[in-house]
Structure 1
Amino acid sequence: MDQSSEYHFPIFISSTDYNLKDLRAELARFLSELGYRPILSSAEGFPDSSPNLEPWESCIPVLEQSFVMVLVIDGRYGTALDWKNSHTCLQEKNISPTHGEYIYAHHSRKRMLVFIRDEVMTYYQSYRTAFKKCGKDFEKTKEVMEQTLPEYIDFETLQFVHQVKTTKPIPWIKEFKDITEIKKEVQKKMLNELAELFLIKNARLETVVSSFDKVMHTLSIDEQRNVLNRIGATKQLIGTVEEIATYEKELQEKTEALSKIEGQNKQDKDKYEKSIIDLKQKIKKLEAKSQESSDDSYYIRNGSVQVNPNYVPPVSGYSGITGSTINVGGTGAYTLYGATPTPRCNKCQMPQMANVGLIYGHSLRKCPKCERMLCNSCWPSNSFALNIAAITSPVLLTDRLESAKPKEEVCPECVRNN
């Protein structure tokens, strides 16, 4: 069985290199196996020889072309460097490469998946407390934190984490212990990203389909044939259009001849009526055959060419799209049931979707305390996923819905603050 999504999205992996070399390599290998294209600034062939940019600044044009940035924050901050040749959002800043990549990604509204080591988050809570007590003075906070901060966690890292967690819009953030947790979450979140992209493209396609149908309905057969040639329709469809045009011309002739026959000539009248019925049936069969085919992106209905809803395009981005089903990452088929974007999660920005067959963080819930809307990826539920499509019993459905409720009455952020 093919285990690849075969959708070669470029995914930029951002982290310090010297202390996370193995983790970066493993994550890159994992993404490659899923069919994505991981990008590492430390990898051979990375374009870092631009005469106008310093080596660490060369990541910016590469990041610009990436679909998603996976940011991994561990204890080390990295070397603070000057970004004078980069985008204006980075100029006059003396920060590490990882920090610079985050600032640019945030400024350009790049999709981000942020992973922060759980131990770093433990010290970050102490940092927050000290920061408030010190009147938000970084130097005083640093003096306090250095008394308890281990050598493998830099104070600048805690400042970096604070910026990531407080600068709006706040990206999707997840604590991690090891690479296994990162791989699991990346695979799940990338599925969500693919699903959202599919829905957006589907919505745009509907607009194109509607406009195309209206235009084609106003054209003659000859004009439709010219349009089909220009848009690259198959020879089979063009041949069908021409065959129908021949039958319709003959139908028109028979109909005109029938109208001229006098009422007493019943034999000739029956002959023409039978011919007209046969021609209409032939046209109907040809149209029906074009509508049943999944080999062409267009079909014929009521004498006009329209976009074929049964057509399955050879999209290199998915291992399979059939109707509203996406096969990706060797994890099976995920049915969307024509879901439509509605409100978004305030944390990860993923949209709520109606009628989603397999729920992966698409159901939103409002925190009664801070009033933020969070999905069940950012507000963990007791069950990992709820497959509505596989549940037929109302009682079982009620039990599963109950088990999918959030573990906490208030959101995780409010729990931590308490």
Structure 2
Amino acid sequence: MAKPRIFVSSTYYDLKHIRASLSLFIDSLGYESILFEKGQIAFVSDDPLDISCYREAETADIFVLIIGGRYGSETSTEKIDGDKSQYTNYNSITRKEYETASENHIPTYILIEKGVYAEYQTYKRNKKNTDIEYAHVDNINIFRLIDDIYKKPNNNPIFSFEKYNEIEEWLRDQWAGLFKDFLIKRGNIKKLESLQSQIRHLETLNLTLKNYLEVLLYADKNLETQNIIQKENEKISKSQLIEHIHNLFIVSYLFDGKTLNSNQIEELISILKMSKNPFDFIHRVSSHLPISSNSYSSSITHLNDKNMAFLNDINELRTTIGLSKWKYI
């Protein structure tokens, strides 16, 4: 089963102990922590090292940024003339990692050391004063980064910490909230799909009622009223069958919850009728309909393991269209 991948971004030497503890915490939750010191970033020999870090940040599921007193090394595209000072302006690798995650709308959580955060308040009141020596940071670009984070309209939850255990408590609460939000949205999607299904059925009924009314208004001796009514009843029955099939668990499982159109449902019924056994059915579906590779491989695994629950789900689809049940041989 795929695990959420959590990218941890920060300068290394001043925060290495926090990074190590955070990695253990993330792994203990059953997630996958991504830190360059663990060798989890695939570096490409043709690219500068930091480019590979941005690539990993772009594909992560969650991004954690830890801001301490060091701003970090410049990116591979930066050129700094002379020695660095507290007021040298440049883009750091850590900042670029954060910007990459932000641009790709990856859920991001920002942790700032309390000493840095307190000094940030001083910086805000003295931005034009370039004579101040800040004790907690090596470069005021750290404060500019915090400024930019606050300017974003969303995806910028910030927490200032003093002790490491505060980080774990905050992230645990934040991720629990993220999971709760996911469940709510998933429930809303199901409700929306149900509503859309009802609307499609009502559209069929509306068309049928229209045809019935036309028959009553324009009926004459040459009009085969009974045939028209029978055809309309068949349309309604077909529409109800399609909606019922679409709502079966096996259909949602095979197609990852994607909505199939009526033509695809009819293709599924046709495949089911011509298939000789469950294996034949899965192979035919994968050849003619948009089943994902993961759904295909997991279905074959279930069949090889003679998973009765999976076979029962397929048989529910078969009995829905009037076919007999399959058995494992």
Amino acid at match of 2:72: G
Q: If the length of structure 1 is used for normalisation, what is the TM-score? A: 0.46
Alignment partner for residue 79 of structure 1, among 73, 77, 85? 73
Amino acid at match of 1:105: A
Specify the alignment match of 2:110 in structure 1: 114
- Contact 1:63 1:105 (C-alpha < 8 Å) held by counterparts: yes
Specify the alignment match of 1:62 in structure 2: 56
CA distance in 1, matches of 2:316, 2:194: 17
For the structure 1 residues 204 and 220, does the alpha-carbon distance in structure 2 shift closer, same or farther, using more than 3 Å as the test?
closer
For the structure 1 residues 78 and 235, does the alpha-carbon distance in structure 2 shift closer, same or farther, using more than 3 Å as the test?
closer
Deviation per CA, 1:8-61: give whole Å up to 9, x if none. Answer: 21111111111111111111111111111111123214112252x310121222
Aligned residues: 220
Three-state SS of the structure 1 residue aligned to 2:37 is coil
1:38 maps to 2:33? yes
Three-state SS of the structure 2 residue aligned to 1:82 is coil
Three-state SS of the structure 2 residue aligned to 1:71 is strand
Specify the alignment match of 2:313 in structure 1: 234
- Contact 2:50 2:76 (C-alpha < 8 Å) held by counterparts: no
CA RMSD of the aligned region, Å?
3.3
CA distance in 1, matches of 2:152, 2:189: 32
1:24 maps to 2:9? no
Q: How does 1:348-359 map to 2 (within 5 A)?
A: none
Three-state SS of the structure 2 residue aligned to 1:143 is coil
Q: Which runs of 5+ in 2 are unaligned?
A: 79-88, 202-234, 246-264, 273-284, 286-290, 292-309, 325-329
CA distance in 1, matches of 2:241, 2:148: 63
Specify the alignment match of 2:238 in structure 1: 219
Amino acid at match of 1:237: E
For the structure 1 residues 169 and 11, does the alpha-carbon distance in structure 2 shift closer, same or farther, using more than 3 Å as the test?
same
CA distance in 1, matches of 2:121, 2:195: 53
CA distance in 1, matches of 2:176, 2:61: 13
CA distance in 2, matches of 1:45, 1:154: 29
Q: How does 1:358-377 map to 2 (within 5 A)?
A: none
Specify the alignment match of 1:175 in structure 2: 160
Q: Which runs of 5+ in 1 are unaligned?
A: 1-5, 85-92, 135-140, 247-418
Three-state SS of the structure 2 residue aligned to 1:16 is coil
- Contact 1:114 1:171 (C-alpha < 8 Å) held by counterparts: yes
Amino acid at match of 2:14: N
For the structure 1 residues 34 and 170, does the alpha-carbon distance in structure 2 shift closer, same or farther, using more than 3 Å as the test?
closer
Deviation of the 1:155 alpha carbon: 2.9
For the structure 1 residues 7 and 186, does the alpha-carbon distance in structure 2 shift closer, same or farther, using more than 3 Å as the test?
farther
Amino acid at match of 2:60: S
CA distance in 2, matches of 1:181, 1:72: 13
Amino acid at match of 2:320: V
CA distance in 1, matches of 2:150, 2:108: 13
CA distance in 2, matches of 1:209, 1:17: 50
For the structure 1 residues 17 and 178, does the alpha-carbon distance in structure 2 shift closer, same or farther, using more than 3 Å as the test?
same
Deviation of the 1:157 alpha carbon: 2.1
Deviation of the 1:62 alpha carbon: 1.3
For the structure 1 residues 7 and 34, does the alpha-carbon distance in structure 2 shift closer, same or farther, using more than 3 Å as the test?
farther
Alignment partner for residue 101 of structure 1, among 88, 97, 100? 97
Three-state SS of the structure 2 residue aligned to 1:81 is coil
Q: If the length of structure 2 is used for normalisation, what is the TM-score? A: 0.58
Amino acid at match of 2:65: L
Three-state SS of the structure 1 residue aligned to 2:94 is helix
Deviation of the 1:167 alpha carbon: 4.2
Alignment partner for residue 43 of structure 2, among 39, 48, 58? 48
Deviation per CA, 1:278-325: give whole Å up to 9, x if none. Answer: xxxxxxxxxxxxxxxxxxxxxxxxxxxxxxxxxxxxxxxxxxxxxxxx
- Contact 1:120 1:153 (C-alpha < 8 Å) held by counterparts: no
Deviation per CA, 1:126-158: give whole Å up to 9, x if none. Answer: 111111xx2xxxxxx3322x1xx2266433322
Deviation per CA, 1:356-382: give whole Å up to 9, x if none. Answer: xxxxxxxxxxxxxxxxxxxxxxxxxxx
